[in-house]
Structure 1
Amino acid sequence: MGFWSGLASAVTSVASSVCRVVTGAVSLVKEVTPLALDAISKVANVVCEVARSLGFLKIEDDPVTLGDKIIQAEEKGITLESCQSDYDLYMEKIRSFRVDPERSKAIDEVDKLKASTITVGARIESHYGTSIAPLIPLIVRSAAFFTAGRLKAILDAGIAVVSIAGYFNSAFDRNTSATVEGQIVSAGKAAQPEMSEDKLREIVRAERA
């Protein structure tokens, strides 16, 4: 798997451990690997906010600090795998882990963000039973639209993630696009009941590539 070469060694170890527990996370790793700081910052913020709304993270669990702890804990043998895939137990250990300040300085912020995105993203994938990898480029393209609230509403609605990506990338014919668009608008209405369907449809269409 050549894509591992795009990750710093510290993040590679984290990604490898996560993928051994959540095999589908390989696709997520592939999408996260090439992202630069600005892009991964957007993705990490959205992914972690979705996780907070699902109760997987606490309000104070910010992506950079979390990623720092994940990387340093990994180096000490504390992994999701070593916790028998018990995410709650793993997060307890991560939160209580005391980082080495000097080691923290040596870890790039982009790597901390990738570590938290991969780890938290994999938990979201396990919860919904689907990969969120196709959503990553959409968040990068328009984080203002693809907010945590909208993405959670779409995932809660059970809309196929590949259909979401296909719609916003204009990959479908008119009939398929109309069907998926209706599903997205309905999910958006659940997240923003105060907004009319016509307005939501207008906003959704404006985001298509």
Structure 2
Amino acid sequence: MRNIRLMIKEQTPLYIFVAVLFLVGVIFGALIVSALTLDQQQDLGEYLGSFFVTVDQQVLPADTGSFWAIAVLHLKWIGLIWILGLSVIGLPGILILDFLKGVLIGFTVGTLVAQYSWHGMLFALVSVAPHNLVLIPALLVCSAAAIAFSLQMIRSRVLGQRRPSVNRPFAMYTMLSLSMALLILGVSSFETWVTPAMMRWVTPYLIFKS
């Protein structure tokens, strides 16, 4: 664990870089909402209205099947980032994934706010924000580690620089990714059993407004 903490400290500039890239994606996603046509906004409003009614009427508690569906969805991001970090050509893919994740969150929150004003912001705070406060940093940590390992591969394989064996960096990179994967399992538990209850608490306000 000490080696992993040291690795994280050394990669601080990469964390800043991927965080800025993610924030740019969030801003871009929010701007997309304002660029939608009136018909597209109306379609989104109708879809959200139906979604809120479904959430409000859902009385069955979530089961383990729901948990694994959510967990697998998040773990796919971790797994894809890890795989891209192993290849020399995977670096652009990691950056695209971070930017895309920001776009998705920015578009989601922007749509809720555009459609429902502060009620939409309240819904975003209980449905989008809680688990993403842990999920996004975990993804960014994995992304920074993947970029660092990919750069090391580029220096040793493409540029032909003499570098120490990649066995230890690979082991640390994999251990870090597995640690983030375990953290995401905990986040998925929260998203499965706690977030729906919080959403049902807020949805009556949005149904009334719609």
For the criterion TM > 0.5, the same-fold answer is: no
Normalised by the size of structure 2, how large is the TM-score?
0.28
- Greater Rg over alpha carbons, structure: 2
Normalised by the size of structure 1, how large is the TM-score?
0.29
| Greater helix content | 2
